[in-house]
Amino acid sequence: MAIKFKLKEQIAEKEFRERRVVSLKEIAEETGIHRVTLSKLANNKKYNVGIDTLEKLCGFFDCSIGDVAEYIRDGK
């Protein structure tokens, strides 16, 4: 069992929609989430993230939690 964070996918979608580059620095400044935390999530490092972080990411990307993180069962 694992949680897969889809931060890179959300960044790519926002960049495409807004036709501009979206950096981790920008996300950090606008959400208050530390850049190192964002980097760990973007690279799917095992990291304990709070619901407040997920809420901030959903707000920034205007999406639902399922668009930011996904539960993966073993063997898939």
Domains of the chain: 2-72 (1.10.260.40)
pLDDT (tens digit, 0 to 9) for every residue of the chain, 76 residues total? 688 999 999 999 999 999 999 999 999 999 999 999 999 999 988 888 999 999 999 999 999 999 999 998 876 5
C-alpha torsion angle, residues 63, 7, 5, 40 (rounded to 10): -140
CB 69 within 8 A of CB 16: no
Residue with tokens 């996300």: 27
